[in-house]
Amino acid sequence: MADILVYSEKMDAALELASKAKEFAGALGLGLSAAILGVDGTGAADAGRLGEVGADRVFTVFDPALDGLAVDVTAEALAQVAREAGATVVLVASTRRGKELAPRLAQKLGAGCVTDVNSLVLDGATLVAGRYAFGGNTVAMETVDTGVKVFAVMPKTFEMGPAVAGAGLVVSPALALQPSTVKLVERRQKDGDAVNLEDAERIVGIGRGLGKREDVDLGRQLAAALGAELACTKGLSDFGWLAEDRVVGLSGAKTKPDLYLSVGISGQIQHTVGISSSKLIAAINTDKDAPIFQLADYGVVGDLYEVVPALIEKLNSI
């Protein structure tokens, strides 16, 4: 029997994929397999969780060659699991690691691949993947035409389902893996206060309308008054004014807050692609022709150095 195979080095993302894949597998008459890859048995306990959201089989591969999850060996391990499972569809999470992995895996399997997928639906018996194209100007809907299909799906595209099934069958295949010639020398956590913009309900986004680094504080005060997270454009992060994990847009977070208030942001598509799913978009900008206003529910044309303090005062008074 053919299967859908899901994998992510991030267990939450793997569970999201498995939850949705269960639905696809049911509709397509396929089985559902999941993979756990690691050096020692640390991840073994997660096999049960993958089974609970619907995986019929959980392939666990623990091998010293997977130390550091070098992409060449990870792709080889997953390719071998995919063959063992008879997978015709492979879903991996489009984290940085997953987006690096998916095309290498696809190449091994002679498969077509779509990365950064932000929607995946069944049209009859065909999986149709949506992703941003032309720098975020458009959404491309794509199908993969090879016998085996690989999709790298953005984390949080699907919701994690409830635990509905029993434990899956745990399979531990004996794989032949050679260690990578790429060696991990050091891994350190990124600095910064680990903000999660994807889950934020309110966001104040600041851009290059701010004249100097100290003015980031004005954004911070506005965010505090609104009970919002502070975010920025890539340009501002490139200046080093805010950490990379606060960037919204094509190369950063894709947000979906109740309110996105943009301050001093002109509205280049590379940024707005990360805000277009907001329930409400508001913008403050000096230029009445700035593209951000075409996206805005509420707009204020004005000097942010006058409007923002007035707004903070008003917010603090209610």
Partner 1 sequence: MKLDIVVCVKTNPDLQMIRIKNREPVLEAIPFRVGDLDKNAVEAAIQLRDAAGDGKVVVLAVAESNRKVRETVKEVLAMGADEAVLVVDPALEATDQAGVARALAAAIQKIGSCDLVLFGEGSTDNYTGQVGSRVAELLALPQISYARKITAGGAGVLVERSMDESIETLEAPLPAAVTVVSEINEPRIPSLMNIMKAGKKPVEEWGLADLGLEAGTVAPVRTILSNLAEEQDRKHIMFEGSAADQASAFVNALIKEGVLGR
Q: Which of residues 269-298 bind partner 1 (CB under 8 A)?
A: 269-270, 276, 280-282, 293-298
With CB under 8 A as the contact rule, the residue among 189, 193, 214, 289 that binds partner 1 is 189
Q: Which is nearer to partner 1, 126 or 169 (CB)?
A: 126
Query: CA 60 to CA 196: how far, in whole Å?
Result: 30
Nearest approach in angstroms of CB 286 to partner 1 is 12
Query: CA 255 to CA 280: how far, in whole Å?
Result: 12
Residue window 124-143: x/- pattern of binding to partner 1, with contact defined by CB under 8 A: ----x--xxxxx-xxxxxxx
Which tokens belong to 240?
């080093």
Task: Rule CB under 8 A: say whether 38 interacts with partner 1.
Answer: no
Work out the angle at residue 6's Cα, subtended by the Cα atoms of residues 15 and 103, and round it to the nearest 5 degrees: 130
- Count of residues that bind partner 1 according to CB under 8 A: 86
Q: Which is nearer to partner 1, 22 or 271 (CB)?
A: 271
Residues 6+ apart with CB under 8 A from 202: 226, 227, 228, 229, 257, 258, 259, 260, 261
Segment interacting with partner 1 (CB under 8 A) among 33-41, 46-54, 208-216, 310-318? 310-318
Task: Rule CB under 8 A: say whether 92 interacts with partner 1.
Answer: no
Task: Rule CB under 8 A: say whether 154 interacts with partner 1.
Answer: no
Query: CA 276 to CA 295: how far, in whole Å?
Result: 8
Task: Rule CB under 8 A: say whether 235 interacts with partner 1.
Answer: no
Query: CA 127 to CA 120: how far, in whole Å?
Result: 7
Query: CA 54 to CA 163: how far, in whole Å?
Result: 8
Task: Rule CB under 8 A: say whether 196 interacts with partner 1.
Answer: no
Task: Rule CB under 8 A: say whether 99 interacts with partner 1.
Answer: yes
